[in-house]
Structure 1
Amino acid sequence: MPMDWPAYYDAQAGRSVRFVLRETLRLRGETPAGNAIDLGCGEGTETRHLLRAGWRVLAFDADSRAETLVRRGLDATELRRLAFRQARFEDLPVLPPVDLVYAGFALPFCDPAAFPGVWAGIRAALTPGAWFAGEFFGPHDDWAGRAEMNFHDRAEVESLLDGLAVQSLVEDDRPGQSAMGPKHWHVFHVIARNPPAPA
């Protein structure tokens, strides 16, 4: 059954900023805001949070409603630091070098055949010292088996992160709630850093 993205965006309105992004920004400490990519930005909670923290953000989403939703409540200065591109994961352009790639609950919705190329593009966009924060879905997830989605067990997630300094890898495998109702979640919450350039 395909996702009802407009209903999902409506259900997400007003939620708090996701933990992996808040924790990533905390771990960066006093490092100045830089350039970020938000993949699958949806209704824009995290994009707006980054913009208000001084970041320049390139936000991607496949849904035509997303740009209007993302822009809600932003002032002129914040809007000047926002670029939005409507694109599916399968059609992403070459990503520019950035200091942070955030992909909150988004990458699992990439077609499995396209995922290796998308992930390679994310890795290539991480400048020395840059951060990745986001989620992967595991094989016990209720949605596992959907042909249009990708899933990874823990060993596969660790392989994807090979060469990055993993700051946090938390596995959730439990019943819970989604925006659309009860669901068994199997999620890997990831915060990882590309090693800084040698001094």
Structure 2
Amino acid sequence: MDWTEFYDNQAGRAARPVLLQALELCGVDQPGTALDLGCGEGTESRHLLVNGWRVHAFDADPAAEARVKAGLDEDQLGRLAFLQARFEGLGELPAADLVYSGFALPFCDPVAFPGVWAGIRSALKPGAVIAAELFGPHDSWADRADMNFHDRAAVEVLLSGLDVRSLVEDDRPGQSGLGPKHWHVFHIIARNPD
């Protein structure tokens, strides 16, 4: 999929609500280390950097690094580490106080997803927060063999052992950056036990 048009359509938007809610839950006076998995055009990475976080941003798109870095000052750039990689090539993730993945994890190959999810869970420090979206089986793209989809029971299994603060299921027709579609999305905010 060519993401250029999608990223161009996303330029200038505000940080997504699930990230803002997760940051409220973090409640730390001293921002820590965040992972932005599938950072896209970089809105959430830049929001984190502006607010003092150290950010490890990951995306497979070759143009993503330039998009993320656009408009950052020297201090913010010094707290950013970017890796161009697909989910399947992430390897061991750095320990994090916050893991964010907005509308990106569904694009992980379904065969690789269990290992990627295990790596995300391993990266969560005690008390760390995860904020992410997963797609459900009613989503317009659910027939795609290169994406992963989970019903509510499977999402609850994935979140087992975490303190789930918000699990909102959104199952409705709507718009995407690529046009009309039916959304079936689980918006997740959870905390790793201390």
- Structure 2-normalised TM-score? 0.98
In the alignment, the residues of structure 1 paired with residue 29 and residue 145 of structure 2 have an alpha-carbon distance, to the nearest angstrom, of 41
Which residue number corresponds to residue 172 of structure 1? 170
SS in 1 for 2:185: strand
Tell me how far 1:144 sits from its aligned partner: 0.2
Is 1:83 paired with 2:81?
yes
- CA deviation vs aligned residue, 1:83-120 (integer Å, no higher than 9, x gap): 00000011112001110110000000000000000000
**Could you say what secondary structure the match of 1:121 adopts?**
helix
Residue number in structure 2 paired with 1:33: 31
Q: Residue in 2 aligned with 1:151?
A: 149
Counterpart position of 1:93: 91
| 1:84 partner letter | F
**Which one-letter code corresponds to 2:19 in the other structure?**
L
RMSD of aligned Cα (Å): 0.7
What letter is aligned with 1:82? L
Aligned residues: 194
| SS of equivalent residue, structure 2 residue 141 | coil
- State the AA in 1 paired with 2:117: W
* Secondary structure at 1:99 match in 2: strand
1:128 aligns with 2:123: no
Deviation at 1:27, TM superposition (A): 1.9
Distance 1:58 1:130 in 2: 15
Contact 2:26–2:128 at 8 Å: present in 1 too? no
- Aligned equivalent of 1:55: 53
Percent of paired sites with the same residue: 70
Deviation string 1:157-189 (CA, Å, 9 cap, x unpaired) is 000000000000000000011011111000000
Residue type matched to 1:193 in 2? R
1:16 Cα offset (Å)? 1.0
Which residue is equivalent to 1:43? Answer: 41
